[in-house]
């Protein structure tokens, strides 16, 4: 029987009918697919110490899930350093890139979930607020072929928490964002994906409270996510 004639229930790589699969899954990177969110915090904390203004829990909203430029602007503002904002951003970005190059570990369940999506032929996107050089470092470790498209901080005029990255990912895939499921680990990322109209699977990497929303679902680990869950979340489109 030719592949195109297979019944939906027999689609290769999936026991689910095509109608039960998500239209696409859009993944955040740091803290969601790879355990790098703590490296980002370490890079910011080390620089903050050098600037004589140690980080506290109160700084978390300005660091976790944020782009280099945003966190650099925050450190520049609160430390009163004589360094320019651009110099702070350069030092922060270099430190983070060095840490990622030395230590990139996939989050539990991440690669298995990506494999199941690829087998089921579900389009995927990597949607990161990290610079392209950091995204490429991670992709060189976990593999580039998992993703249909990838977006880094430079690829949109505004990055997270603005909706632009997720809107751009859906556009590149030729899909309505409301039909896509975004997977995020920080409030910043959840806000971005939700504002774009995506259903959101939030898998927190820290104890920071997540935003509430009708299409925001909390899960403790990607190891507990599967195609059925993602398909269910994507099916509940906003009307």
**pLDDT per position as a tens digit, 192-218:** 999 999 999 999 988 788 999 989 999
pLDDT of 13 over the 90 cut: no
Rounded-to-integer distance, Cα 106 and Cα 83, Å? 35
Rounded-to-integer distance, Cα 21 and Cα 178, Å? 14
The three-class DSSP label of residue 163 is coil
Q: What number is the average pLDDT over the span 9-15? A: 47
Catalytic, out of 28, 155, 164, 185: 28
Q: What number is the average pLDDT over the span 166-171? A: 98
**pLDDT per position as a tens digit, 66-116:** 888 999 999 999 999 999 999 999 999 899 889 888 888 999 999 999 999
Residue 57 a catalytic site member? no
**What confidence score (pLDDT) does residue 237 get?**
58
Residue 30 a catalytic site member? yes
% of the chain residues with pLDDT over 70:
92
Catalytic, out of 30, 59, 155, 164: 30
DSSP string over 54-111: ---GGGHHHHTT--HHHHHHHHHHHH--SS-HHHHHHHHHHHHHHHHHH---BPTTHH
Q: What is the pTM of this model?
A: 0.83
Distance linking the first and last C-alpha atoms of the chain: 38
């Amino acid at each position: 029987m030719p592949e195109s004639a297979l019944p939906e229930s027999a689609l290769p790589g999936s026991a689910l009918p095509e109608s039960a699969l998500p239209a696409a899954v859009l993944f955040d990177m740091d803290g969601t697919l790879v355990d790098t969110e703590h490296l980002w915090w370490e890079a910011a904390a080390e620089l903050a110490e050098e600037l004589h203004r140690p980080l506290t829990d109160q700084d978390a909203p300005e660091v976790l899930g944020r782009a280099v430029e945003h966190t650099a602007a925050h450190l520049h503002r609160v430390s009163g350093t004589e360094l320019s904002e651009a110099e702070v951003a350069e030092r922060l970005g270099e430190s983070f890139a060095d840490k990622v190059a030395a230590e990139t570990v996939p989050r539990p369940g991440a690669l298995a979930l990506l494999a199941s999506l690829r087998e089921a032929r579900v389009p995927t996107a990597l949607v990161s607020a990290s610079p392209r050089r950091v995204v490429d470092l991670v992709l060189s470790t976990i593999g580039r072929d998992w993703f249909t498209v990838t977006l880094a901080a430079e690829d949109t005029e505004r990055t997270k928490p603005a909706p632009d990255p997720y809107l751009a990912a859906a556009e590149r895939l030729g899909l309505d964002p409301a039909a896509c499921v975004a997977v995020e680990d920080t409030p910043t990322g959840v806000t971005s994906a939700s504002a774009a109209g995506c259903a959101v699977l939030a898998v927190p990497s820290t104890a920071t409270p997540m935003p509430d929303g009708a299409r925001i679902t909390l899960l403790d680990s990607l190891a507990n996510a599967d195609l059925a869950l993602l398909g269910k979340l994507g099916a509940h489109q906003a009307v």
